[in-house]
Amino acid sequence: MKSFNYVITDEVGIHARPAGLLVKAVKALSSTVVIKSGAKSADASKLMAVMGLGVKKGTEVTVEVTGENEAADAVEVENFFKNNL
């Protein structure tokens, strides 16, 4: 498992548009991606689960990537966060 922490910089947090793009990007990967915020966690391939986290600007999330290609997938997901959230 690979993981990284990221502080959300988007003014509205993880809202519908970037959450939808995240789900689409994660579904294209071979690894499982889980986002954790406080005591909550969500499968990043499920839009309603990601939206249910209610992540706001300034919140630090932990992203865990597990799978055969986890190292490359973790880099791709981290780049997505940096570019979109």
Evaluated on CA atoms 22, 33, 62, 42, the torsion sign reads positive
Exactly one of 15, 36, 46, 56 is catalytic; name it.
Answer: 15
Could you confirm whether 63 is annotated as catalytic?
no
Burial of 58 (0-12, 13-18, 19+ CB in 10 A): exposed
Q: Across the chain, where does the E strand assignment appear?
A: 2-7, 32-37, 40-43, 60-66
Q: Point out the residues that are catalytic.
A: 15
